[in-house]
Structure 1
Amino acid sequence: MASVSSFRDVIANMYYNDLFDELSEYIEDNPDKLESNSYHVQSPDEAALSDFDIITIDITDSPGNSILFDVIVSAEIEIAETVRRNRETDGIEQWFRISCRADLDDGIQNFQINSVSIYNKYRESKLGRLSEYLVPIIEKEQFDNVATEFLNEFCPEALSTPMPIPVDEVVKRMGLKVKEIQLTKHFTIFGQIVFGDCTIEYYDRNERTYKPLEVSRGTILVDPNVYFMRNIGCMNNTIIHECVHWYKHRKYHELVKTYNSDALLISCRVNETTKYKQQWTPEDWMEWHANGIAPRILMPRSMTIKKIEELIKKNELLFGTYDRLNIMENVVYELADFFQVSRIAAKIRMLDLGYKEVEGVYTYVDDHFISNYSFKADSLHKNQTYSISLSDSFFEYYANPEFAKIIDSGNFIYVDGHYVINDSKYIKKLENGSIDLTDYAKLHVDECCLLFDLKLNKASKMDIVVYLDSIMFRKATPDYNRVPTFNPDKHNMEVFNRSEELKKFHEEFVEEGQHLSRTTQTFSQAVYGHIKRKGYNKVVFIEKTLLSGKTYDRIKNNELNNPTLETVVAICIGLELSPTYSEEILRLAGYTLNNTPQQLAYKKLIHSYRGHSIYECNEVLEALGLSPLCAKAYKEMIS
Structure 2
Amino acid sequence: MATGRSFAEYVKSKCYSGLYKAAEDYVEREWESLPIYTKKVYKIGEIDLVDAIIQRVYVEDLPGMRVKFDVGLELELEVKEHDYHYDESDQCFPWIRITCEGDLGCGLDDWEIKRIIPYNSQNAPMNSMSDALVPYISPDQLESVARQFLADYYPEALKITKHGEKPVWVDPMVLADRLGLKIVNQRISEDSSIFGQLYMVDTDAEVYDSNLGHTVVKHIEGKTIVVDPMNFLLRNLGSRNNTIIHECVHWVEHRKVFELERLFNASAACISCEVVGGAAASVAKKATEMMERQANALAPRIQMPAEPFKAKANEYIGKFMRQMDAKHTVDVMENV
TM above 0.5: yes
1:461-501 superposed Cα distances (whole Å, 9 cap, x missing partner)? xxxxxxxxxxxxxxxxxxxxxxxxxxxxxxxxxxxxxxxxx
What amino acid is aligned across from residue 163 of structure 1 in structure 2?
Answer: V
* Offset, 1:203: 0.9
Count of residue pairs the alignment pairs up: 326
2: CA distance, partners of 1:168 / 1:318: 38
Larger RCO (CA within 8 A; separation ≥ 6): 2
Mapping for residues 56-455 of structure 1, pairs under 5 Å: 56-83=56-83, 85-105=85-105, 107-123=107-123, 125-126=125-126, 129-161=128-160, 162-226=167-231, 234-272=239-277, 280-317=285-322, 321=326, 327-331=332-336
What amino acid is aligned across from residue 255 of structure 1 in structure 2?
Answer: L
What amino acid is aligned across from residue 123 of structure 2 in structure 1?
Answer: R
Change (3 A) 1:64 1:228: farther
What amino acid is aligned across from residue 261 of structure 2 in structure 1?
Answer: V
Hey, what does 2:30 align to over in structure 1?
30
Q: Contact (CA 8 Å) 2:96, 2:117: kept in 1 or not?
A: yes
RMSD of aligned alpha carbons: 2.6
What amino acid is aligned across from residue 315 of structure 2 in structure 1?
Answer: E
Q: Contact (CA 8 Å) 2:3, 2:287: kept in 1 or not?
A: no
Change (3 A) 1:2 1:153: closer
* Offset, 1:44: 2.8
What amino acid is aligned across from residue 4 of structure 1 in structure 2?
Answer: G
2: CA distance, partners of 1:47 / 1:232: 69
What amino acid is aligned across from residue 133 of structure 1 in structure 2?
Answer: A
Q: Contact (CA 8 Å) 1:106, 1:258: kept in 2 or not?
A: no
Q: Contact (CA 8 Å) 1:108, 1:255: kept in 2 or not?
A: no
Change (3 A) 1:184 1:100: same
Change (3 A) 1:43 1:217: farther
Change (3 A) 1:143 1:169: same
* Offset, 1:283: 1.5
Q: Contact (CA 8 Å) 2:43, 2:82: kept in 1 or not?
A: no
Q: Contact (CA 8 Å) 1:106, 1:254: kept in 2 or not?
A: no
Mapping for residues 35-54 of structure 1, pairs under 5 Å: 35-54=35-54
Identity of aligned residues (%): 34
Hey, what does 1:613 align to over in structure 2?
none
Change (3 A) 1:252 1:292: same
2: CA distance, partners of 1:71 / 1:12: 10
* Offset, 1:113: 1.8
* Offset, 1:86: 2.8
Q: Contact (CA 8 Å) 1:228, 1:237: kept in 2 or not?
A: no
* Offset, 1:150: 0.7
What amino acid is aligned across from residue 63 of structure 1 in structure 2?
Answer: P
Change (3 A) 1:242 1:286: same
1: CA distance, partners of 2:293 / 2:100: 29
1: CA distance, partners of 2:182 / 2:275: 22
2: CA distance, partners of 1:130 / 1:229: 37
Three-state SS of the structure 1 residue aligned to 2:123 is coil
2: CA distance, partners of 1:281 / 1:157: 35
Three-state SS of the structure 2 residue aligned to 1:304 is helix
Q: Contact (CA 8 Å) 2:46, 2:82: kept in 1 or not?
A: no
Change (3 A) 1:185 1:319: farther
Please give the TM-score of this superposition, normalised by the length of structure 1: 0.48
1:124-151 superposed Cα distances (whole Å, 9 cap, x missing partner)? 644x711111111111110111111111
Q: Contact (CA 8 Å) 1:67, 1:101: kept in 2 or not?
A: yes
Greater fraction of residues in helix: 1
* Offset, 1:4: 3.1
* Offset, 1:18: 1.2
Q: Contact (CA 8 Å) 2:3, 2:132: kept in 1 or not?
A: no
What amino acid is aligned across from residue 133 of structure 2 in structure 1?
Answer: L
Three-state SS of the structure 1 residue aligned to 2:14 is helix
Q: Contact (CA 8 Å) 2:3, 2:288: kept in 1 or not?
A: no
* Offset, 1:197: 1.2
Unaligned runs of 5+ in 2: 161-166
Hey, what does 2:164 align to over in structure 1?
none
* Offset, 1:239: 0.9
What amino acid is aligned across from residue 143 of structure 1 in structure 2?
Answer: L
Q: Contact (CA 8 Å) 2:278, 2:292: kept in 1 or not?
A: no
Three-state SS of the structure 1 residue aligned to 2:101 is strand
Change (3 A) 1:192 1:42: farther
Give structure 1 regions of 4+ aligned residues with deviation exceeding 6 angstroms: 228-232, 322-326
Three-state SS of the structure 1 residue aligned to 2:151 is helix
Q: Contact (CA 8 Å) 1:59, 1:131: kept in 2 or not?
A: yes
Three-state SS of the structure 1 residue aligned to 2:294 is helix
Greater fraction of residues in strand: 2
Please give the TM-score of this superposition, normalised by the length of structure 2: 0.88
Unaligned runs of 5+ in 1: 332-639
* Offset, 1:166: 2.6
2: CA distance, partners of 1:167 / 1:10: 36
2: CA distance, partners of 1:124 / 1:8: 16
Three-state SS of the structure 2 residue aligned to 1:90 is strand
* Offset, 1:108: 2.9
1:264-294 superposed Cα distances (whole Å, 9 cap, x missing partner)? 21101111459xxxx8421211111101111
